[in-house]
Amino acid sequence: MDNYTPTSRTRIRRLPKRGSYDKLAVHAILDEGFICHVGFAVDAQPYVIPTIYARAGDTIYLHGSAVSRMLHTLAQGVQLCITVTLLDGLVLARSAFHHSLNYRSVVMIGSARLVDDKDEKMHALQSITDHVVPGRWNEVRWPNALELKQTSVLALPLAEVSAKIRSGPPLDDDVDYSLPIWAGVVPVCTRLGTPKDDGRVLPEVPAIELARIARRATPAG
């Protein structure tokens, strides 16, 4: 199936033309992002927690400390909502009302399961590591038994999913186009800076190649 099936919780109702359930579009957004926000409620108290994630096929993996309240709570099957948003541009109109942002976002809803299988847990941690820097997993020391014990991993199947995308210039009212005001889009891009080592890197070890990280993302337009 090339599309996720919209549900009553994921169907885009406001500006539905911006909505997308296309798997390739959803996956592209998830693969480009670095941070997701995880929303859930405990005893009627809502929480939204930013965290690193990774997509592996039709599964989203989250990880953290084994004593994390968020992971402990979600492992019990509490309903959650995960969002990833990429900012692509500032949309400046002639009127304040029509100012906007160009963005790509994904919303995922469901309940996560605790990953107990060692092989899947290692696969999830590899996916998260390589999501940040492709190929990094095979360069570093892998987690030992104690580190694995201290780490929890949750898996959320991509079942209830939708994307929403806004692109293009501002849409002003016809009467406002005669106003002497600049209007258009200011692109917003994430840029990588010069790597700075921690002061204890062995002399023969070269700096990380920025091109490896840059390849994982699509430039904003």
- Which residues 6+ apart lie within 8 Å of 171 measured at CB? 93, 98
The confidence band for 202, taking pLDDT boundaries of 50, 70 and 90, is: very high
Task: Name the token pair of 156.
Answer: 């959320």
- The one-letter code for the residue type at 99 is H
Taking residues 163-190, report their average pLDDT.
97
Write down the residue that tokens 């840059």 correspond to: 214
pTM for this predicted structure: 0.91
Taking residues 7-30, report their average pLDDT.
90
Task: Name the token pair of 119.
Answer: 């092989």
What share of residues in the chain are helix, strand, coil (percent, to 5)? 25, 35, 40
Taking residues 62-82, report their average pLDDT.
92
Q: Does domain 16-214 have CATH number 3.40.50.2000?
A: no
φ and ψ at residue 142, rounded to 5 degrees = -75, 160
The confidence band for 13, taking pLDDT boundaries of 50, 70 and 90, is: confident
* Per-residue pLDDT, 218: 44
* Per-residue pLDDT, 221: 33
The confidence band for 217, taking pLDDT boundaries of 50, 70 and 90, is: low
Task: Name the token pair of 206.
Answer: 């070269």
CA angle 73, 156, 128 (to 5 degrees): 100
Least confident of 94-103, 127-136, 187-196, 207-216: 207-216
- Which residues 6+ apart lie within 8 Å of 55 measured at CB? 27, 30, 31, 61, 127, 131, 158
Distance CA 134, CA 106 (A): 22
Burial class (CB in 10 A: 0-12, 13-18, 19+), 171: exposed
Domains of the chain by residue range: 16-214
pLDDT score of 72 more than 70: yes
* Per-residue pLDDT, 190: 86
CA angle 32, 120, 63 (to 5 degrees): 55
Report the residue count for the chain.
221
DSSP string, 11-73: ---SSGGGEE-BHHHHHHHHHH-SEEEEEEEETTEEEEEEEEEEEETTEEEEEEETT-HHHHH
Task: Name the token pair of 101.
Answer: 């942002």
pLDDT in tens, 93-118: 999 999 999 999 999 999 999 999 99
* Per-residue pLDDT, 15: 82
Average pLDDT, the chain: 93
52 touches 142 (CB < 8 A): no
